[in-house]
């Protein structure tokens, strides 16, 4: 079997890690990226167990020059990228706008929005020249709705939604599929990052109901990218059953 190639940002954890495994299981070799090299090394071992090759690229998506220079080192046979999953991102803080930290705002806009653009800018030409490829952008329910204290994170994910829809239009002449995946609550390191390492606070986000798992999202991405070439699942909103909207969550707490 000739394996396809998927490039996944934020593959060191959560949704990105699980997506790497799921795509390996359906016949992809993986270009896995993130800042934590030891995590990429651990992922590579898991991918090899699935029979997949792995190219590890360590960079911060905020660093435009590093993104460009690192992606430029990809050997020719790895440049035939079939699927790009723009997943790297996080929330930083959960504060009323008037109390928000400028550093947190910068991080969310630089990583979730500009990082996605920098990576896409480097990969799209390889898809355009082959007139094929699929781009999966990980948005959020926060990109469809706004919730109290979510202000800038929600703005960053609304931007991802807009960019996704714009990409689908602009890449339409080249037959490139663009898919937006917008999860609700998924138990990952997301809340640990949002609350700056406060694990007790992070755990409370997922208590009293069954959140989505990163595997749930990964399976859906694997399903979406493996549809026949004439089919695009353009916009996927995925919630835990206990969640009806960004703010309506049925919790059974003591
Ligand atoms: P995790 O914190 O588990 O994973 C985040 C990933 O993003 C890590 O692999 C991290 O890698 C990478 N990342 C973060 N900052 C950077 C950076 N500056 N440069 C490169 N990589 C970076 O969270 P999730 O798996 O939950 O998040 C993945 C995506 O899903 C995000 O875009 C998030 O907004 C979105 N999402 C999450 C939901 C949830 O409830 N968990 C719901 C909806 C959307 P490293 O630290 O090694 O660089
Ligand atoms: C992550 C889900 O509800 O915390 O995007 O914004 S939420």
Instruction: Answer yes or no: is pLDDT of 192 > 90.
Output: yes
CB 151 within 8 A of CB 246: no
**Residue 42 is assigned to a structural domain of this protein:** yes
Q: Which atom of ligand 1 is nearest to the CA of 15?
A: 25
Q: Is 209 a catalytic residue?
A: no
Q: Residue 7's beta-bridge partner residues? A: 31, 84
**Residue 80 is assigned to a structural domain of this protein:** yes
Mean pLDDT of 55-69: 98
**28, 147, 153, 206: which is the annotated catalytic residue?**
153
Considering only CA atoms, which of 182, 148, 189 is closest in space to residue 14?
A: 189
**Ligand 1 pocket, residue 36 CB under 6 Å:** yes
Instruction: Answer yes or no: is pLDDT of 175 > 80.
Output: yes
Q: Take atom 18 of ligand 1 and give the residue whose Cα is closest.
A: 60
**Residue 186 is assigned to a structural domain of this protein:** yes
Q: For residue 210, how far is the Cα from the chain centroid?
A: 21
The 8-class DSSP code of residue 114 comes to I
pLDDT on residue 253: 81
pLDDT digits (tens, 9 = 90+) for 107-135: 999 999 999 999 999 999 999 999 999 99
**Residue 247 is assigned to a structural domain of this protein:** no
The ligand whose atoms approach the alpha carbon of 139 most closely is 1
**Residue 190 is assigned to a structural domain of this protein:** yes
pLDDT band at 209 (very low <50, low <70, confident <90, very high): very high
CB 178 within 8 A of CB 232: yes
Q: Take atom 48 of ligand 1 and give the residue whose Cα is closest.
A: 35
Element (H, E) at 32: strand 28-34
**Residue 8 is assigned to a structural domain of this protein:** yes
C-alpha 254 to ligand 1 mean position (Å)? 31
The 8-class DSSP code of residue 212 comes to B
**Residue 142 is assigned to a structural domain of this protein:** yes
CATH at residue 68: 3.40.50.720
Instruction: Answer yes or no: is pLDDT of 53 > 80.
Output: yes
Element (H, E) at 190: helix 190-194
The ligand whose atoms approach the alpha carbon of 151 most closely is 2
**Ligand 2 pocket, residue 141 CB under 6 Å:** yes
How far are the Cα atoms of 22, 32, 183, 220 from residue 131, in angstroms, in the given order?
A: 25, 23, 29, 24
**Ligand 2 pocket, residue 5 CB under 6 Å:** no
Number of domains in the chain: 1
**Residue 211 is assigned to a structural domain of this protein:** yes
In the chain the first and final C-alpha atoms are separated, in Å, by 52
Q: Which domain holds residue 192?
A: 4-238
For 143, how many CA atoms within 13 A lie in the half-sphere containing its CB? 28
- How far apart CA 115 and CA 93 sit, in angstroms, is 19
pLDDT on residue 254: 77
Mean pLDDT of 47-52: 98
């Amino acid at each position: 079997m000739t394996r396809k190639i998927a490039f996944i940002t934020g593959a060191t954890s959560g949704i990105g890690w699980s997506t790497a495994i799921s795509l390996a299981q359906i016949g992809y070799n993986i270009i896995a990226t993130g800042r934590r090299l030891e995590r990429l090394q651990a992922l590579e071992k898991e991918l090899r167990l699935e029979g997949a090759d792995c190219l590890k690229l360590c960079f911060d998506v905020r660093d435009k020059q590093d993104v460009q220079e690192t992606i430029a080192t990809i050997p020719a046979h790895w440049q035939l990228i079939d699927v790009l999953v723009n997943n790297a991102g996080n929330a930083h803080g959960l504060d009323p706008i008037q109390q928000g930290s400028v550093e947190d705002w910068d991080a969310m806009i630089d990583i979730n929005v500009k990082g996605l653009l920098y990576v896409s800018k480097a990969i799209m030409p390889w898809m355009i020249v082959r007139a094929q490829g699929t781009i999966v952008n990980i948005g959020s329910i926060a990109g469809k709705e706004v919730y109290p204290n979510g202000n800038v994170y929600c703005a960053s994910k609304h931007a991802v939604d807009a960019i996704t829809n714009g990409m689908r239009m602009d890449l339409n002449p080249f037959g490139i599929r663009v898919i937006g995946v917008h999860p609700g609550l998924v138990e990952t390191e997301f809340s640990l990052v949002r609350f700056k390492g406060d694990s007790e606070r992070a755990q409370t986000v997922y208590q009293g109901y069954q959140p989505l798992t990163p595997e749930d999202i990964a399976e859906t991405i694997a399903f979406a990218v493996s549809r026949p070439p004439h089919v695009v699942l353009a916009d996927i909103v995925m919630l835990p059953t206990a969640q009806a909207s960004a703010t309506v969550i049925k919790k059974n707490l003591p």
